[in-house]
Amino acid sequence: MGNGKGKQPLKNKKDNSSPILNKDSKSNLKWDPLRNIADDPDEVLRKTDERLDNLEKEYFNDEKDKSDNIGNIFGLHGLTRRDFIKWTSLVTSALMLPYIFKPRVARAANILTRTPFIWLEMSDCMGNTEAFLRTAHPTPAEIILSYVSVNYMESIMAPAGYQAEARMVETVKKYKGKYILVVEGAIPMGLDGKYLTIGAKGKSGLKITQEVSKNAGVIIAAGNCASYGGIPAANPNPTSAVGLSSVTDRKVINIPACPVNAVNLVGTLIEYVLIGKPPQLDSIGRPLWAYSERLHDTCYRRAHFEAGEYVKNWGDDGAKKQYCLYMMGCKGPFTWNNCTVVEYNQDLSFPMRAGHGCIGCSQPKFWDRMTPFEEPNESAKITLPMVEATADEFGAALFGAAGAGIAAHAIYTGVKKKREKKKISKNEKNNSEKDKSKDDKK
Ligand code: SF4
Ligand code: F3S
């Protein structure tokens, strides 16, 4: 192993917009077509339709090809057109778009399956790929992901070695500024990137991501490892692994979680197809439509938190009644994501519904900052902007109602304990008086 330091992440990053973005900015796109729709809805719809018309002309042979495409794809998986329409409603609402966008979301999903696509695998467990490609009953989002026009994806493509590399080079050249780049996994910087070499020529993951990022239309970091380094970057980070945004000066959209939620990934891609530029992002690069809410604020167990009803041991009565998992280390109060709303596996479940607390898998450095995962939160040292305190102190001091929930629980427990103590000492007193009178009689 080397000194583990490697190259330093890029500084003074600037957003080199893609040619597609430049095209839009040339046409004086002053508004964000999706978010400021109330300002000029007709103009927003006109611009979006114009973009979709152009993309359809580019990616479909004729009207029949266009109209049969998504039906054929869904049909192969036993899903009907109605299932697709239902799914477009879900994505439209998840993207926080007005209902009028629903048919446009459907068109964008159709276009997405033909948009050139490169998926790079870096330092990781491939859990994101596994999560949507290997499911027995794929969701519509997963089906669309598995039908995108994958020009390069090591885990599924037929060509190997030099042929595979040639395909990637060709895609970068042929679809300059148009292809979607998704990166899964962290990028090791140590030994000048040599902890990870890929392909027949043994190029480093660092070099490949930097080269392929340059001409991509949009760049997405899928999962926590690609977004922030994830588990490969956890202490002591022997390979000096970092997230994608640290190795490129292009704008990166982070879709963290472990694994990434297919709805969030496809939703972001659909928004890109609709407007031709990245969505509005939060300060750590995540789309606001998916990551602006704290899990704790939308969790179905929240009422139990407020009522001071907690699971205190795995499998206890509280666990059976689906009480709040805060005392079992749930990191929902410190995690921003929409798992509680869109859920995983055909909108079926997510960690808290399955009975385990959130481990904060969509936050940077969650493996270092959020551990231990299954012990009361006071053991975890959680650092938030302007706040450095244990989770319990933070909750009690700043969460208001949430803090009140903990306080209510503490007061209730305290009062109960006092009552029990009083009862015990009263019983003890009665018993000793009885014993005393027995002794007197003797
Ligand atoms: Fe839900 Fe966890 Fe918050 Fe409890 S602490 S309400 S389980 S997010
Ligand atoms: Fe991850 Fe927490 Fe959601 S562990 S999947 S962010 S509930």
Highest mean pLDDT pick, 69-83, 196-210, 378-392: 196-210
The span from the CA of 266 to the CA of 39, in Å, is: 27
Q: Is the CB of 113 under 6 A from ligand 2?
A: no
Specify the amino acid at residue 200: A
How high is the mean pLDDT of the chain?
A: 79
* Closest atom of ligand 2 relative to the 363 alpha carbon: 6
* Pocket probe mutation, ligand 1, options 321, 330, 331, max atoms within 8 Å of Cβ: 330
**Which of 269, 291, 313 delimits the end of a domain?**
291
Report the pLDDT value the prediction gives residue 431, as an integer from 0 to 100.
57
Residue 116, helix vs strand vs coil = strand
CATH number, domain with residue 107: 3.40.50.700
The span from the CA of 316 to the CA of 193, in Å, is: 48
Taking the alpha carbons of 55, 58, 64, 66 in that order, is the dihedral positive or negative? negative
| CA–centroid distance, residue 142 to ligand 2 (Å) | 19
Tell me how long the chain is.
442
Give 153-179 pLDDT, tens digit per residue: 777 676 777 888 888 899 999 999 999
Domain with 389 in it: 295-401
Which ligand has an atom closest to residue 127 CA? 2
Across residues 13-38, what is the average pLDDT?
Answer: 44
Which ligand has an atom closest to residue 350 CA? 2
Domain count, the chain: 2
Share of the chain above pLDDT 70, in %: 71
Give 209-254 pLDDT, tens digit per residue: 999 999 999 999 999 999 999 999 999 999 999 999 999 999 999 9
4 or 289, higher pLDDT: 289
Q: Are residues 59 and 125 in the same domain?
A: yes
* Pocket probe mutation, ligand 1, options 340, 352, 353, 382, max atoms within 8 Å of Cβ: 352
Give 356-410 pLDDT, tens digit per residue: 999 999 999 999 989 999 988 777 766 554 323 333 444 444 444 444 444 444 4
CATH number, domain with residue 364: 4.10.480.10
* Pocket probe mutation, ligand 1, options 298, 299, 311, 377, max atoms within 8 Å of Cβ: 299
C-alpha distances (whole Å) from 15 to each of 125, 141, 224, 282 are 29, 29, 21, 15
Q: Are residues 149 and 233 in the same domain?
A: yes
Q: Residue 209: exposed, middle, or buried by beta-carbon count in 10 A (0-12, 13-18, 19+)?
A: buried
Q: Is the pLDDT of residue 116 over 50?
A: yes
| CA–centroid distance, residue 178 to ligand 1 (Å) | 41
Q: At what angle do helices 81-94 and 63-76 cross, to 10 degrees?
A: 90
Q: Is the CB of 234 under 6 A from ligand 2?
A: no
Report the pLDDT value the prediction gives residue 22, as an integer from 0 to 100.
33
Residue nearest (by alpha carbon) to ligand 2 atom 2: 358
Q: Are residues 280 and 142 in the same domain?
A: yes
Give 405-442 pLDDT, tens digit per residue: 444 444 333 434 444 555 555 555 565 555 555 555 54
Q: Are residues 227 and 85 in the same domain?
A: yes
Report the pLDDT value the prediction gives residue 140, as an integer from 0 to 100.
66
Q: Are residues 201 and 245 in the same domain?
A: yes
Locate the DSSP E strands across 171-257: 180-184, 187-188, 197-198, 203-204, 218-222, 241-242, 253-255
Q: Are residues 286 and 300 in the same domain?
A: no
Q: Which two tokens stand for residue 368?
A: 């270092």
308 or 39, higher pLDDT: 308
Q: Are residues 395 and 383 in the same domain?
A: yes
Residue 420, helix vs strand vs coil = helix
Q: Are residues 35 and 74 in the same domain?
A: yes
Which ligand has an atom closest to residue 395 CA? 1
Give 254-299 pLDDT, tens digit per residue: 999 999 988 898 889 999 999 888 888 989 999 988 998 899 999 9
Residue nearest (by alpha carbon) to ligand 1 atom 6: 302
pTM of the model: 0.78
Q: Is the pLDDT of residue 149 over 70?
A: no
Across residues 172-190, what is the average pLDDT?
Answer: 95
Residue nearest (by alpha carbon) to ligand 1 atom 3: 296
Q: Are residues 342 and 194 in the same domain?
A: no
**Which of 245, 263, 291 delimits the end of a domain?**
291
